């Protein structure tokens, strides 16, 4: 009877150690996944600031670059939206289930405690029966043995229930690790897939900026309005007329009677 008690006792200890181990590891995973999620949120925040700055910057640029930068900012904003969803999903699908393990583990620990006390009680009863057997006549021994049989069955049932509970706990643990890790990957993959698509559009937006068109606008902006109206805003030549420095190098200075205002005529 004692060896059976010891066996069950050490088994309960093993189970308790296992619960403690799960509690510790899930707690650590929870903290680290939460930290990972928080850092993703910080990255999203920096992405948001970048979007705002690019938008502000875009407003000061020539039309083509402005359009390209605005579109780029829109795409980058969309990626931060996806990143926000990623953070929320990491919290809901990874961090929360790991956190809720605290409660699961607590319940399991109660179960083990209850079983342990049932085992202790049973051990006392066994010791009592042993005493009775040694002291009492054979007619009382029969009663004792029947009581022992009942006690043994009770003990077996209790141990079996605990084993089933723990078996279920272990199965659930493996399933939950698989589920939580898979959810983590799914959330990450979902973000990656969407970001990949949006970044591709962002790339096209910025690559499509027509720098020559913008340079025209820029050159015009440097010259006084009358200069622009004279040259015409649709002028496709550069305002730094290349002929100015050509071999002919003609420079006409129209000297008027009343003032010395001059006009560089671009040939």
Contacts of a second copy in 99-158 (CB under 8 A): 126, 129-130, 133, 145, 148-149, 152-153, 156
Residues 38-67 interacting with a second copy (rule: CB under 8 A): 39-40, 42-43, 45-47, 49-50, 53-54, 56-57, 60, 62, 65
Question: Which residues make Cβ contacts (< 8 Å) with residue 63, sequence separation at least 6?
Answer: 213, 214, 217
Q: Degrees (nearest 5) of the Cα angle 42, 43, 49?
A: 90
Residue whose CB is less far from a second copy, 114 or 210: 210
Longest dimension (CA), the chain: 149
192 binds a second copy (CB under 8 A): yes
The residues, ordered by sequence, that sit 6+ positions from 68 with a Cβ below 8 Å of its Cβ are 205, 206, 208, 209
34-42, 103-111, 117-125, 228-236 -> range binding a second copy (CB under 8 A) = 34-42
Using CB under 8 A, which of 20, 106, 140, 164 touches a second copy?
A: 164
254 makes contact with a second copy (CB under 8 A): no
- Please give the structure tokens belonging to residue 18: 């296992």
Site for a second copy in 11-30 (CB under 8 A): 11, 14-15, 21, 25, 28-29
Rounded to whole angstroms, how far apart are CA atoms 121 and 137? 25
Stretch that binds a second copy, among 84-92, 99-107, 111-119, 189-197 (CB under 8 A): 189-197
Q: Which of 203, 237, 246, 267 binds a second copy (CB under 8 A)?
A: 203
Query: Any contact of residue 74 with a second copy (CB under 8 A)?
Result: no
Torsion 100-105-108-110 (CA) sign: negative
| Residue 57 CB, nearest approach to a second copy (Å) | 5
Determine the 3-state secondary structure of 249 from DSSP.
coil
- Cα 33 to Cα 5, 37, 98, 99: the distances in Å are 41, 6, 9, 10
């Amino acid at each position: 009877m004692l060896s059976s008690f010891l066996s069950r006792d050490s088994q309960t200890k093993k189970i308790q150690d296992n619960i403690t181990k799960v509690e510790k590891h899930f707690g650590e995973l929870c903290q680290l996944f939460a930290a990972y999620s928080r850092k993703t949120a910080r990255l999203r925040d920096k992405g948001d600031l970048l979007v705002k700055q690019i938008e502000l910057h875009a407003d000061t640029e020539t039309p083509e670059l402005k359009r390209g930068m605005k579109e780029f900012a829109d795409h980058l904003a969309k990626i931060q939206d996806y990143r926000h969803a990623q953070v929320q999903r990491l919290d809901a699908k990874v961090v929360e289930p790991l956190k809720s393990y605290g409660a699961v583990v607590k319940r399991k620990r109660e179960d083990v405690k209850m079983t342990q006390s049932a085992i202790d009680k049973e051990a006392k009863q066994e010791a009592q029966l042993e005493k009775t057997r040694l002291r009492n006549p054979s007619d009382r021994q029969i009663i004792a043995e029947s009581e022992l049989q009942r006690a043994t069955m009770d003990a077996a049932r209790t141990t079996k229930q605990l084993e089933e509970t723990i078996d279920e706990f272990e199965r659930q643990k493996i399933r939950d690790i698989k589920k939580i890790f898979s959810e983590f990957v799914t959330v990450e993959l979902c973000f990656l897939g969407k970001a990949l698509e949006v970044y591709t559009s962002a790339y096209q937006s910025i690559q499509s900026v027509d720098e020559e068109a913008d340079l025209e606008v820029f050159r015009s902006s440097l010259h006084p309005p009358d200069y622009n109206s004279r040259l015409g805003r649709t002028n496709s030549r550069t305002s730094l007329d290349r002929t100015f420095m050509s071999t002919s190098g003609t420079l006409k200075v129209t000297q008027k009677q009343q003032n010395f205002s001059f006009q560089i005529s671009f040939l």
